[in-house]
C-alpha cells in the first residue's frame, strides 16, 4: 500500500488551491492510495538507460517573425472577468494581513 495520508492530501489541496471539505479529503486519501498503487508499476521498466519522452513529436526553436499582429481588444480581454476596474482586472488582496 502507498503511504498517502490525509495530512498529505490536505497539503496537496492547499498547493492546488482547492478548498476541500474534510469528507472529500477522507475519500480522496483512500482513492489516491489505490490509484498510486496501480500507477507505481511504471518504475518497474523505467531503467536508467531509457531516455524520457516529454513530447510525442518534438519540435525545436518554434519562432515567429517579431511583428505586431492583431490581438484581443481590452474589452474582449476583460469580457470574461467577474470584476473589473476600468480597463483592468480587479482582484482581491494579494497578501494576507497576517
Partner 1 sequence: MTDLTRLSAADLSILLTSGAVSSVEATQAHLDHIAAVDTDVHAFLHVAGASALAAAAAVDAQRAAGAVLGPLAGVPIAIKDVLATRDMPSTAGSKILEGWIPPYDATVVRLVREAGLIPLGKTNMDEFAMGSSTEFSAYGPTHNPWDLDRIPGGSGGGSAAAVSAFEAPLALGSDTGGSIRQPAAVTGSVGVKPTYGGVSRYGAIALASSLDQVGPVSRTVYDAALLHDVLSGHDPLDSTSLTDRWPSMAAAAIAGRVDGALTGVRIGVVKELSGPGFQPGVLQRFNETLAMLVAAGAEIEEVSAPSFEYAVAAYYLILPAEASSNLARFDSVRFGIRVDPEEGPLTSERVMAATRDAGFGPEVKRRIILGTYALSAGYYDAYYGSAQKVRTLIQRDFDAAFEKVDVLLSPSAPTTAFKFGEKMDDPMAMYLNDVTTIPANLAGIPGMSLPMGLAPEDGLPVGLQVMAPAKQDARLYTFGAAVEQLLEAHWGHTLLSLAPKLAPTEMFASEGGAV
Four-residue CA torsion sign, 75, 78, 82, 86: negative
CB proximity list for 23: less than 8 A, separation 6 or greater: none
60-63: long-range contacts, CB 8 A cutoff, minimum separation 24: none
In the complex with partner 1, the residue whose CB is nearer, 68 or 94, is 94
Is residue 1 within the footprint of partner 1 (CB under 8 A)? Answer: no
Residue recorded with cell 519540435: 59
Q: How far is the CB of 1 from partner 1 (least distance, A)?
A: 14
Number of residues that bind partner 1 (CB under 8 A): 57
Length of the chain: 98
Is residue 41 within the footprint of partner 1 (CB under 8 A)? Answer: yes
Is residue 43 within the footprint of partner 1 (CB under 8 A)? Answer: yes
Residues found near partner 1 in the complex (CB under 8 A): 4, 8-9, 12-21, 24, 28, 31-32, 34-36, 38-47, 50-57, 59, 62, 64, 72, 76-77, 79-83, 89, 91-97
Amino acid at each position: 500500500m502507498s503511504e498517502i495520508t490525509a495530512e498529505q492530501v490536505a497539503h496537496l489541496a492547499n498547493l492546488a488551491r482547492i478548498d476541500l471539505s474534510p469528507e472529500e479529503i477522507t475519500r480522496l486519501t483512500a482513492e489516491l492510495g489505490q490509484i498510486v498503487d496501480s500507477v507505481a508499476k511504471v518504475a518497474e521498466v523505467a531503467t536508467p538507460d531509457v531516455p524520457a519522452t516529454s513530447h510525442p513529436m518534438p519540435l525545436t526553436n518554434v519562432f515567429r517573425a517579431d511583428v505586431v499582429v492583431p490581438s484581443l481588444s481590452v474589452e474582449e480581454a476583460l469580457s470574461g472577468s467577474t470584476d473589473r476596474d476600468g480597463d483592468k482586472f480587479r482582484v482581491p488582496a494579494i497578501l494576507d494581513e497576517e
